[in-house]
Amino acid sequence: MAVCVAVIAKENYPLYIRSVPTENELKFHYMVHTSLDVVDEKISAMGKALVDQRELYLGLLYPTEDYKVYGYVTNSRVKFVMVVDSSNTALRDNEIRSMFRKLHSSYTDVMCNPFYNPGDCIQSRAFDSMVTSMMIQVC
Amino acid sequence: MSVPDYMQCAEDHQTLLVVVQPVGIISEENFFRIYKRISSVSQISVRDSQRVLYIRYRHHYPPENNEWGDFQTHRKVVGLITITDCFSAKDWPQTFEKFHVQKEIYGSTLYDSRLFVFGLQGEITEQPRTDVAFYPNYEDCETVEKRIEDFIESLFIVLESKRLDRATDKSGDKIPLLCVPFEKKDFVGLDTDSSVLLGLKRHYKKRCQGRMRKHVGDLCLQAGMLQDSLVHYHMSVELLRSVNDFLWLGAALEGLCSASVIYHYPAGTGGKTGARRCQGSSLPAEAANRHRPGAQEVLIDPGALTTNGINPDTSAEIGRAKNCLSPEDIIDKYKEAISYYSKYKNAGVIELEACVKAVRVLAIQKRSMEASEFLQNAVYINLRQLSEEEKIQRYSILSELYELIGFHRKSAFFKRVAAMQCVAPSISEPGWRACYKLLLETLPGYSLSLDPKDFNKGTHRGWAAVQMRLLHELVYASRRMGNPALSVRHLSFLLQTMLDFLSDQEKKDVTQSLENYTSKCPGTMELITLPDGLVLPPVPFTKLPIVRRVKLLNLPASLRPQKIKSLLNQNVSTKSPFIYSPIIAHNRGEERNKKIDFQWVQGDVCEVQLMVYNPMPFELRVENMGLLTSGVEFESLPAALSLPAESGLYPVTLVGVPQTTGTITVNGYHTTVFGVFSDCLLDNLPGIKTSGSTVEVIPALPRLQISTSLPRSAHSLQPSSGDEISTNVSVQLYNGETQQLVIKLENIGMEPLEKLEVTSKILTTKEKLYGDFLSWKLEETVAQFPLQPGKVATFIVNIKVKLDFSCQENLLQDLSDDGISVSGFPLCSPFRQVVRPRAESKPVNPPEGSKPGDPSHVKNKASLRHGDVSEMGTPACVLRASAQPPLRKTLHTLEAILNFKYSGGPGHVEGYYRNLSLGLHVEVEPSVFFTRVSTLPATSTRQCHLLLDVFNSTEHELTVSARSNEELVLHAGECQRMAIQVDKFNFESFPASPGEKGQFASSEQLEEERQEARGLEINSKLDVRWRIPSLKRTGEASVEGLLNQLVLEHLQLAPLQWDVLVDGQPCDCEAAACRVGDPVRLEVRLTNRSPRSVGPFALTVVPFQDHQNGVHNYDLHNAVSFVGSSTFYLDAVQPLGQSACLGALLFLYTGDFFLHIRFHEDSRSKELPPSWFCLPSVHVRALEAQA
């Protein structure tokens, strides 16, 4: 269902980005990159809210003709961006939310790896397979 | 209307549109000069009122846009200014005609027009005309501004009259229907008067009213009556909403928004115009005041409101700021307006412009999210087929707007799209320059700087894929622009910074194209400055290859300069009275960190080792790789290298020659890779290991090269005590051989060699070495100094090997079972303890004679004695050894180092010298061995025979000689006995110097020393030499090592010297003659040389006859008779004393008689060694009595 999943560091560089192989990868790079503007904007708007009340899910960042871009931000300002096909109407907000939550927990697992340096690209196989499962599902 | 004006902003609604156009031939420069002056008059305060008029100038305006003038009056061209050149009166009519033609184009909407004529002089100019102004030239036209002001005032008069005319239109029911161009055909044939349906008619009327209200609102806004316009817009919205006239409803709403924006944001929303408006802007409160008069004007004419059928209720709201929309409402209304516009395909431009205006407002309100929604919408507004230029414009403006709301990434994205549009394949003349410029502008959006220094901080973190794409595009654009230097720079940057992200194939492709570019334009280290001021810093290839470690190498040991240690320590110069102070020590430590504590020498090749790594998947050719240094003039000798693909760490040595002295710092290195020159500074390299990069260069020193007469050896000496040997020579010598080593010293440096010192060091060896191993005379060589460069001096060293000639222990063991006692093994041998007692148990005591009960002894001794006797006088007696011992051929090696300390030139003045070491490796083959050493008493007690069993361990025939006597020939592996007659030694005379060394040396050492000295003495007397005739080699053999205490004792003159005198003649070796019947006087004399008194002794003379067949006949009572007693008594003899006793013998028969003088058992002092009682045996030949 997801066509592209990206994890972006606090400093706005990609830690992980993967898209369906059939499509032009660069297109998604551009898409995720530009979506960061919206993410930044949403985060700065949200900044005043109390930390514990903060909603991590940012919702739809922006729709394009073919895709919808969703965002999610952790408390440590690591961003998850997911691009889904607009034609897939089965996906509701709730599904997207749960997908992000899954992504978040998997990311937490990656961070728990003592051999992982925060800030490095994510090369975890477990994370990879989880993302793969999210991309194949329902499609 | 098809051409959108992306620059529009909300406050443009209050402006009057004036078109300024050239007519005829007029240079662009002149036109724009005037245009600029005209457009400076953009704001006019109208006389007699506080209203302000805003003018918008355009030099180009599509007439079809003008057709929308009724819809929104600010789109209507109300003024035309024409600028023209005219130099002669003849042309004037023509010019004027052109002006009229120009007027026709916008004729329907123009309020007024002006013609500015430049260059014309004469009578025509005299005519006063309002619509034409004459100026002699472009410089002399101060009144242009004034003219424009007048012109604008005239425009205002028309506008005001129109406004009043429309607002107070008394035409009642007959309000004309205002239409937009595409509506016109819809209303054709619609008879509004005779419409059948009353409802339709009312509907139509309302529509007319609503549209007119909106129009009046526009006019009010333009005329500077903001509050009035708000009222009108509100009414219009009400009216139009009721009749679902959506397009105009949208326009009314937008008007409302515009007016509100103008009210709220007097500084303007369009960035560019903002500055211009500043002068007119003031606080909102003030602005409200300013506009109030306009509102009052409406109040003056209340009938205008009522007569038009407008709800009088609205008048209650007049003058209240409530009419004005709140900032939030503005956005809502904009949204609404845009949603109405979007219902009409033909109103796309209006919708687009509304979006842009809304975004500008939102940007001011800092509501980026909503602004982005408007922009998102604007992106999807589909206008008719746009030209490429329009597309570029559209994308650029989108990019600008995104930038405005802080969406830098989005902005960069659109800018890039615009750039790509510039060079779209459909364009016949691609604008590479524009494309490149736009691409450069996108760099910040992709957080990419073109300074490679920003990438030195650890791993690159960014959107590599996107950035790489952008760099590729920059490269391509710059290439197409025809600026290869620029594309080389960009491509180098791409390769340097994105190396980690390039795939193998991409790496190949990029380097391939880089090489193609650099073949035309090599990459340099210079800054590239672009026309717009952007500076592209140079890109050094610090990753091609990657340098991991930089190490300055010391000079090779033979060239390393050393400081002559002076008594004045350098610490003295630190001006501290303390020998040691922690502060000074600390400082020195710091200095040491920076500076490497070795020196380089001026004029000598110095090396720096780099550990490099090739990250590329193919072979990397690095050319012209050299050092970058500072501090000292340095001639770098560049190297070219070729690194294999994905090489591991690879050592590369860069060399150079310092030309002056001082402190040199290695700052970095330069390379040429793929045709790009790079200067890589060490400071900028990440993750580099360096052990300091500063070193001192000392003045030049000479260089010495050594060549020897001996072959070089591959065998290197064990590096003991840190000596590094430059040359090794080896030689094979037989033990005892002497060889001359000729050393040629060549000065291969540039400085004269002035000083030379030679020392030698023998590496510790287990072997005991006798004599001087190496000896030389330096004086002859030094006489040739100073040695100029290129000159050669010779130096001769004598190598003499003299190892132990005693046989090895295993050999000894084999031979020791032999009857003869064996001696001559090394003193330190553990075997000694075993052998000693045996040697003592079988004391060699030849003078004592053998006891009859010891047959083996008897046999051996007898045969010896026999030979001895038979060949009396010959020094050597030969005994072929019965057994050939299986000798292992063991090689001994001797190693020594010759050190040449030399100096000269300026370096010598500074107190430096160089040390060159020559390693000498000598393999010593055994030549001869002395397997056994023993002594035999000679006939004289003053002499003795030294018996040496000589074993030839070589594979050649060998001759041995001693004391220049005849030679003994030994075949290979043969062992022969050699007897040398030697005078006994009086050792007491020389070694006794215990006083000197007694304090230091233990008695054992003393004893050893003494023994050595004795050995030396003996050896010099013996002078044993060997010769191998087949090899023509000669040498000495030394017995020093094999003389033991026992042998030495035998060789020593006994302290008790016994002399036997027969007939007063000393009888030692020769037979004394006497006559039968005559008594023979026999005197035994004792001289005591020992330090103590000896005696008394009793001696018995026993005569016997030797039958020469092993039988001694002692039964001679009938043949010999004693005169007196046969026993002598000697009194005790004091040291240095002498004593004698006399007797006589009478021989009764002729014959050879021997006298054996024997001590009485009890009289011999047990404490004295037996060799002290060595009396010569007396041989008396009794002859026939002479008758």
pLDDT tens figures, B751-790: 888 888 888 887 766 666 777 778 888 887 778 778 888 8
Q: Which residues of A touch B410 (CB under 8 A)?
A: 34, 37
Q: Cβ of B446 and A34 within 8 Å?
A: no
**In contact, A17 and A4? CB cutoff 8 Å:** yes
Token representation of residue B744: 């040629």
Token representation of residue B760: 């030698």
Preceding omega of B425 cis (within 30 degrees of 0): no
Q: Which residue has the tokens 């037989």?
A: B734
Q: Of B410, B413, B417, which to mutate for an interface test with A (greatest number of A Cβ within 10 Å)?
A: B410
Give residue-wise pLDDT tens across range B68-120. 888 888 888 888 888 888 777 777 888 888 888 888 888 888 888 888 888 87
Give residue-wise pLDDT tens across range B239-294. 888 888 888 888 888 888 888 888 888 777 765 443 333 333 333 333 333 333 33
Percent over 70 (pLDDT), chain B: 74
H helix and E strand count, chain B: 31, 46
B407 Cα to chain A: minimum distance (Å): 5
**In contact, B76 and B156? CB cutoff 8 Å:** no
What pLDDT was estimated at residue A108? 92
Q: Which residues of B touch A19 (CB under 8 A)?
A: none
B547-556 per-residue burial string, b: 16 or more CB within 10 A, e: under 16: beebbbbbbe
Q: Which residue has the tokens 């051999």?
A: A115
- Could you give the CA distance from residue B1172 to residue B1187 in angstroms, rounded to a whole number? 43
B903: phi then psi, degrees, rounded to nearest 5? -160, 170
Collapse the DSSP code of B313 into the 3-class scheme (helix H, G, I; strand E, B; otherwise coil) and give the result. coil
- Could you give the CA distance from residue B148 to residue B155 in angstroms, rounded to a whole number? 10
Q: Which of residues 42-61 of A touch B (CB under 8 A)?
A: 42, 45
What string of DSSP letters covers B1070-1136? SPEEEETTSEEEEEEEEEE-SSS-B--EEEEEEEEEE-SSS-EE---TTTEEEES-SEEEE--B-TT
For residues B705-719, give the mean pLDDT: 71
Please, which pLDDT band fits residue A104 given cuts at 50, 70 and 90? very high
What pLDDT was estimated at residue B465? 84
Is 60 exceeded by the pLDDT of residue B1179? yes
B589 Cα to chain A: minimum distance (Å): 37
Collapse the DSSP code of B9 into the 3-class scheme (helix H, G, I; strand E, B; otherwise coil) and give the result. coil
- Could you give the CA distance from residue B1140 to residue B1136 in angstroms, rounded to a whole number? 14
B465 Cα to chain A: minimum distance (Å): 7
Q: Which of residues 414-473 of B touch A (CB under 8 A)?
A: 446-447, 459, 461-463, 465-466, 469
- Could you give the CA distance from residue B1100 to residue B1121 in angstroms, rounded to a whole number? 13
What pLDDT was estimated at residue B1174? 63
**In contact, A61 and A81? CB cutoff 8 Å:** yes
Name the residue among B182, B183, B246, B172 with its Cα closest to residue B209.
B172
What is the Cα Rg of chain A in Å?
A: 14
Report which secondary-structure segment, H or E, holds B469: helix B464-480
Residue A36 contacts B where some CB pair is shorter than 8 Å: yes
Is 60 exceeded by the pLDDT of residue B1000? no
- Could you give the CA distance from residue B474 to residue B516 in angstroms, rounded to a whole number? 16
In this complex, the residue of B372, B402, B409 whose CB is nearest that of residue A33 is: B409
In this complex, the residue of A9, A26, A41 whose CB is nearest that of residue B368 is: A41
Q: Which residues of B touch A45 (CB under 8 A)?
A: 369
Q: Cβ of B372 and A38 within 8 Å?
A: yes
Give residue-wise pLDDT tens across range B1028-1068. 888 788 887 777 766 666 676 677 666 677 777 777 777 66
For residues B1153-1169, give the mean pLDDT: 67
Q: How many residues does chain A have?
A: 139
Report which secondary-structure segment, H or E, holds B548: strand B546-552
What pLDDT was estimated at residue B1055? 67
B1039-1057 per-residue burial string, b: 16 or more CB within 10 A, e: under 16: bbbbbbebbbbbbbbbbbb
In this complex, the residue of A9, A41, A65 whose CB is nearest that of residue B369 is: A41
- Could you give the CA distance from residue B182 to residue B347 in angstroms, rounded to a whole number? 9
Dihedral of alpha carbons B246, B247, B250, B252, sign: negative
- Chain B: residue nearest A25 by CA? B465
Is 80 exceeded by the pLDDT of residue B1178? no
For residues A25-38, give the mean pLDDT: 87
Q: Cβ of B466 and A29 within 8 Å?
A: yes
| CA distances (Å), origin B44, targets B228, B817, B1165, B1177 | 20, 141, 154, 161
Residue B1076 has a CB neighbour count (10 Å cut-off) of: 16
What pLDDT was estimated at residue A81? 92
Please, which pLDDT band fits residue B849 given cuts at 50, 70 and 90? very low
Any idea which of B363-377, B570-584, B1013-1027, B1054-1068 has the lowest mean pLDDT? B570-584
What pLDDT was estimated at residue B712? 73
Q: What is the 3-state secondary structure (H, E, C) of chain A?
A: CEEEEEEECCCCCEEEEEECCCCCHHHHHHHHHHHHHHHHHHHHHHCCCCCCCCCCEEEEEEECCCEEEEEEECCCCCEEEEEEECCCCCCCHHHHHHHHHHHHHHHHHHHHCCCCCCCCCCCCHHHHHHHHHHHHCCC
Q: Cβ of A33 and B466 within 8 Å?
A: yes
Residues paired with residue B1019 on neighbouring β-strands, in sequence order: none
Q: How many residues does chain B have?
A: 1187
Give residue-wise pLDDT tens across range B335-347. 898 889 888 888 8
**In contact, B585 and B717? CB cutoff 8 Å:** no
Q: Cβ of A41 and B372 within 8 Å?
A: yes
For residues B628-656, give the mean pLDDT: 85
Cα B901 versus chain centre, distance: 33
What pLDDT was estimated at residue B272? 47
Q: Cβ of B409 and A34 within 8 Å?
A: yes
Q: Which of residues 70-129 of A touch B (CB under 8 A)?
A: 119-120
pTM check: above 0.80? no
Which residues are CB-neighbours of B1049 under 8 A, at least 6 positions away? B1169, B1171
Is 60 exceeded by the pLDDT of residue A14? yes
A91 Cα to chain B: minimum distance (Å): 22
Report which secondary-structure segment, H or E, holds B582: helix B582-594
- Could you give the CA distance from residue A1 to residue A68 in angstroms, rounded to a whole number? 11
Q: Cβ of A12 and B368 within 8 Å?
A: no
Work out the mean pLDDT of chain B and round it to a whole number. 74
A127 Cα to chain B: minimum distance (Å): 20
Residue A33 contacts B where some CB pair is shorter than 8 Å: yes
Please, which pLDDT band fits residue B792 given cuts at 50, 70 and 90? confident
Please, which pLDDT band fits residue B582 given cuts at 50, 70 and 90? low
In this complex, the residue of A13, A38, A41 whose CB is nearest that of residue B463 is: A13
Please, which pLDDT band fits residue B320 given cuts at 50, 70 and 90? very low
Residue A115 has a CB neighbour count (10 Å cut-off) of: 5
Q: Which residues of B touch A30 (CB under 8 A)?
A: 413, 466
Please, which pLDDT band fits residue B974 given cuts at 50, 70 and 90? confident
Any idea which of A5-14, B68-77, B1004-1013 has the lowest mean pLDDT? B1004-1013
Collapse the DSSP code of B619 into the 3-class scheme (helix H, G, I; strand E, B; otherwise coil) and give the result. coil
Size of interface A-B (CB pairs under 8 A): 49
What pLDDT was estimated at residue A7? 92
For residues B10-29, give the mean pLDDT: 85
Q: Cβ of A37 and B466 within 8 Å?
A: no
